[in-house]
Amino acid sequence: MTAAFRSRRVLATSAAVVALLLAVLLSLAVGARAIAPGTVLDALLGTGTGDDAEVVRQLRVPRTVIGLMVGAALALAGTALQGITRNPIADPGILGISQGSAVAVVLAIAFLGVHSLSGYVWFAFAGAALASVAVYAIASSGRGGATPVKLALGGAAINALLLSVTTGVLTTKAAALDEFRFWQTGSLDGRDAATIAQIWPFLLIGVLLVLSVARGLDALALGEDVAKGLGQKVATVRIVGGLGATVLTGAAVAAAGPIAFVGLAVPHIARAVVGSDHRWVLPMAALIGPVMVLVADVAGRIVFPPGEVPAGVMTALIGVPFLVTLVRRKAVPA
């Protein structure tokens, strides 16, 4: 590695940290009522008084922290899944993990009378875990084990199945539709400190699991045979990395609903600026992911005032052109 490339990585990391700080400031200051940066700082330091200071402390700080956590979780999960499957378009949504959470939440709303965000958390985790196990079980059956292609196809099949279950339940349980629709769009609105307290332990566990297989993901990118030749236990890397991605996805989806395209787009951006070494890609993704979520959330607050467009809608608007561009670049000429 050249000195110039090391300097580029350090510079890119510094720029990402600055971008994250600016995104946090925007999230705290911009909304239905604009609040001056000085007032925001006073509110954070506990010296501010008045309505603006209370808005910052009671509403915008929890919302911003949730955005930081959700963005980092989805970005890390997407990076891990793309490394495990060696598929550039793998992310928690495409592989069915987010939809597993959605099915569990809609079943909880429709049949178990769960109507609070704190109640959704455990069902979202359970749904994500079951969907991940189902995808891996399908992919690992038959000859060749869990190859990248089989993982992607298994994820697509489970995603389609779970989507049909969700639709079927909602068509027969109309009372659950409005509540689920608010959650399904993916939003940071209405989240409070209690949500943070519930999901941060799972977020920490997921981060540690994913970071622990960074070297394994680098080796796996060279192919399974090469990874085994380098002493990596491929099955262990996939299981630990997949478990970490599942925990991270469950935490993010439970907190804010299935926010799309963060797990797809951010890993590619991270690799573009720091290279393919996952010891750098994973931290960079953890910085860029929150920037994307917070900027999308802020844009959603101001694009159609006084109403709000959910962050999940705004990230989809950003992510769809990115996905189209990615597919075009990866296309093989006939």
**In this predicted model, what pLDDT tens digit does every residue of 287-318 receive, in sequence order?**
999 999 999 999 988 887 777 888 888 888 87
- Reported as type and span, the H/E element at residue 317 is helix 311-330
Quick check: 295 and 26 in contact, CB under 8 A?
Answer: yes
Domain boundaries of the chain, sorted by first residue? 1-32+259-329, 88-258
pLDDT-wise least confident of 59-63, 145-149, 239-243, 307-311: 145-149
Burial 213-244 (b: 16+ CB within 10 A, else e): bbbbbbbbeeebeebeeeebebeebbbbbbbb
Class of domain 88-258: mainly alpha
Higher pLDDT, 161 or 45: 161
Higher pLDDT, 99 or 205: 205
Higher pLDDT, 282 or 50: 282
* 49 pLDDT higher than 50: yes
Confidence at residue 175, expressed as pLDDT on a 0 to 100 scale: 67
pLDDT band for position 333 (cuts 50, 70, 90): very low
Residues 177-186 have pLDDT tens digits of 766 776 677 8
Confidence at residue 96, expressed as pLDDT on a 0 to 100 scale: 84
Confidence at residue 327, expressed as pLDDT on a 0 to 100 scale: 65
Q: Which two tokens stand for residue 87?
A: 């598929």
Q: Which two tokens stand for residue 332?
A: 């093989």
Quote the mean pLDDT of the chain.
Answer: 84
Confidence at residue 145, expressed as pLDDT on a 0 to 100 scale: 66
Residues 73-95 have pLDDT tens digits of 999 999 999 998 888 878 888 78
Higher pLDDT, 304 or 103: 103
Q: CA-to-CA distance for 135 and 174, rounded, in angstroms?
A: 30
Residues 5-44 have pLDDT tens digits of 788 889 999 999 999 999 999 999 988 778 888 888 888 8
* 331 pLDDT higher than 50: no
Q: CA-to-CA distance for 153 and 159, rounded, in angstroms?
A: 10
Confidence at residue 212, expressed as pLDDT on a 0 to 100 scale: 94
Residues 134-187 have pLDDT tens digits of 888 887 777 766 677 787 788 888 888 988 888 888 787 776 676 677 667 788
User: How many CB atoms neighbour CB 181 within 10 A?
Assistant: 11
